[in-house]
Copies of this chain bind each other. A is one copy, B any other.
Amino acid sequence: MEYQFSDRVRSLKPSAIREILKNSSDPSVIPLSAGNPAPDAFPYDAVSALSADLLKNAPIDALQYGVTEGYAPLRKHLMEYMGKKHQVGTENDDILITSGAQQVMDLLTKTLLNEGDTVLCEAPSFIGSLNTFRSYRAKLVGIPMEEDGIDTKKLEEALNTQPNVKYLYTIPNFQNPSGITMSLEKRKKVYELCRDHGVVILEDNPYGDLRVSGEDVPSIKSLDREGVVVYAGTFSKVISPGMRVGYAIGPKEVIQKMVVCKQGEDVHSNMWAQIVCHRFMTEYDYEAHLERLRGIYRRKSQLLLSAMERYLKPLGITWHSFEGGLFAWCTLPDGVDMLDFVKKATENKVCVVPGTAFLTDESEPCQSFRINFSTPTDEQLTEGIRLLAKTYEEMTK
C-alpha cells in the first residue's frame, strides 16, 4: 500500500550527519559522540534497595495506573526542593512529571505552537530539542552565542522582527553543545526582553547539578514572578536516563494544558521510576550523591582538558572553556573541512559530532565539533583525543 504521510513527517529531512555517524555504533570506534552519563554515576545500590522495598511493600503503587500529573509525593517534594534550594517556582506555578525532559519540549510545543510559528533558540543548540520543535513545523530562528551566553542584542532584534514568536529555548548552564554558561546579567536581560514581548522562555537545565568549577548562577526561572518561564528538569543525568523521569515547573495555566496533551500521549509516566526517584531524594543523602557525581565529572573533565592541552592545542584546535556539563566544543583552524575531519576521524576509530548538527540550518558553515567526556573510559578519552590530533595531522601534512 502507498502511505500518505503528514506534512510534518514528510518535512523531516534525513540528516547528512547520520551518514557520517553511521559507523559510530561500531564497538571498535571510541565514542566521544554520545551524551550518556558515566556508568559509575548511577546509584545502583540505592535504586536496587528502594525498588525491592517498593515491590515488596507497596507493589500496587508501582503497578496500577497513576494520574497524568505525576506521582503526588514526588510532585510535592520537587516543588519544595526546587523552591528552597533553587528559588524555582512560585504559588502561581505548578509541576508536571514527564517521561524525561524531552517530553517537556514536546508538550510545551504542542501547547503553544501552530505550524509555522517561530521558536527562538541558541545557535548552536541541542539537536534533540530542535528536532522536536521541527516535528511541529516550527520556524527555528537561531540567535548566536557569545562567551557569556546568548547575544541579547540579536535576541532583541529577533523579538522585534520575527512574526509569531511563541518561545525562546535556552540551556543556560553548560549549554549543549557549546558548554557556555549564561551570565546573571544576561539572564536578567533575557527575562526582561521575553517578558516585555509576551514570549515564554523554555529553560532547559539538565546539567545544572553537574558544575565542576566556579559558582552557581541563579536560574532564569528564579527571577520569574510574572509567569514567563517554563523550567525543564530531569533525573536523567543525576539518577538514571533509562528511567525516563523529567518534570516541568511553570505557570499553572500552561501546565494544565500540558497535562491534557500528556494524557493523549502516554497517559502518565512509569510509576516505579517516579516512586524510586522520590524515595531516593527523600531517604538518601541526595546532596552527598550530587557531590559524588560532581567528583566523577570533575575528574573526567580534567582528564579531557589535559589531553586537549597536550594533543589539540599545539595544532591550533581551540575550545570554549566550560565549568560543568558533559561536553566540550572544539573549533578547527580555518582551511580544514570540518565534515571531512569528522568523517576521517571515524575512519581513525574515534567519533565526535559535527557542529552543523546543532544548527537550525545544517548547511551553514561551521568549523566546530562536540566532544563528550562522560561516556568513554579514561583510556578511551585520552586515546580518542590523540586520534583526533592524528586525523588533523594526516589532513594537513
Chain A interface (Cβ within 8 Å of chain B)? 1-9, 12, 36-37, 39, 42, 44, 47-48, 51-52, 55-56, 59-66, 98-100, 102-103, 105-106, 110-115, 117, 128, 131-132, 134-135, 166, 195, 198, 200, 226-228, 236, 240-244, 251, 253-254, 257, 260-261, 263-273
4 new A-B pairs (CB below 8 Å) besides A3-B112, A128-B263, A244-B268? A36-B65, A99-B270, A105-B264, A132-B265
By a CB distance below 8 angstroms, the chain B residues around A269 are: 99, 244, 270
Let me know if B47 and A266 touch, CB within 8 A.
no
Let me know if A267 and B100 touch, CB within 8 A.
yes
By a CB distance below 8 angstroms, the chain B residues around A5 are: 111-112, 257
Let me know if A111 and B48 touch, CB within 8 A.
no
How long is the Cα–Cα vector from A266 to B273 in the complex, in angstroms?
14
Let me know if B264 and A131 touch, CB within 8 A.
yes
Identity of the chain B residue whose Cβ is nearest the Cβ of A272 in the assembled complex: B272
Let me know if A266 and B240 touch, CB within 8 A.
no
How long is the Cα–Cα vector from A195 to B273 in the complex, in angstroms?
41
Let me know if B66 and A265 touch, CB within 8 A.
no
Let me know if A6 and B110 touch, CB within 8 A.
yes
Identity of the chain B residue whose Cβ is nearest the Cβ of A37 in the assembled complex: B64
How long is the Cα–Cα vector from A73 to B277 in the complex, in angstroms?
26
By a CB distance below 8 angstroms, the chain B residues around A264 are: 102, 105-106, 128, 131-132, 134-135
By a CB distance below 8 angstroms, the chain B residues around A9 are: 110-112, 257, 260-261
By a CB distance below 8 angstroms, the chain B residues around A135 are: 110, 260-261, 264
By a CB distance below 8 angstroms, the chain B residues around A44 are: 55, 59, 63
Let me know if B110 and A3 touch, CB within 8 A.
no
By a CB distance below 8 angstroms, the chain B residues around A65 are: 36, 236, 241-242
Let me know if B266 and A244 touch, CB within 8 A.
yes
Interface residue from B55, B113, B227, B270 paired with A273 (Cβ < 8 Å): B270
How long is the Cα–Cα vector from A10 to B1 in the complex, in angstroms?
35
Would A42 and B55 be within 8 Å (CB), given that A110-B9, A111-B9, A267-B244 are in contact?
no
Identity of the chain B residue whose Cβ is nearest the Cβ of A129 in the assembled complex: B264
Identity of the chain B residue whose Cβ is nearest the Cβ of A99 in the assembled complex: B266
Minimum CB–CB distance for A56 against chain B, Å: 6
**CB-defined A-B contacts under 8 Å, sample of 6:** A1-B251, A65-B236, A106-B265, A135-B261, A272-B272, A272-B273
How long is the Cα–Cα vector from A240 to B271 in the complex, in angstroms?
10
By a CB distance below 8 angstroms, the chain B residues around A265 are: 99, 102-103, 106, 132, 265-266
How long is the Cα–Cα vector from A64 to B200 in the complex, in angstroms?
32
By a CB distance below 8 angstroms, the chain B residues around A254 are: 3
Let me know if B244 and A270 touch, CB within 8 A.
yes
Interface hub of A117, A260, A263, A267 (most chain B Cβ within 10 A): A267
Question: Which 7 A-B pairs give the minimum distances between C-beta atoms?
Answer: A242-B271, A63-B240, A132-B264, A270-B270, A48-B55, A99-B266, A135-B264
How long is the Cα–Cα vector from A198 to B5 in the complex, in angstroms?
12
By a CB distance below 8 angstroms, the chain B residues around A102 are: 264-267
By a CB distance below 8 angstroms, the chain B residues around A55 are: 44, 47-48, 51-52
Minimum CB–CB distance for A205 against chain B, Å: 17
Let me know if B51 and A260 touch, CB within 8 A.
no
Interface residue from B7, B36, B117, B257 paired with A64 (Cβ < 8 Å): B36
How long is the Cα–Cα vector from A313 to B254 in the complex, in angstroms?
47
How long is the Cα–Cα vector from A135 to B99 in the complex, in angstroms?
19
Minimum CB–CB distance for A121 against chain B, Å: 15
Minimum CB–CB distance for A201 against chain B, Å: 10
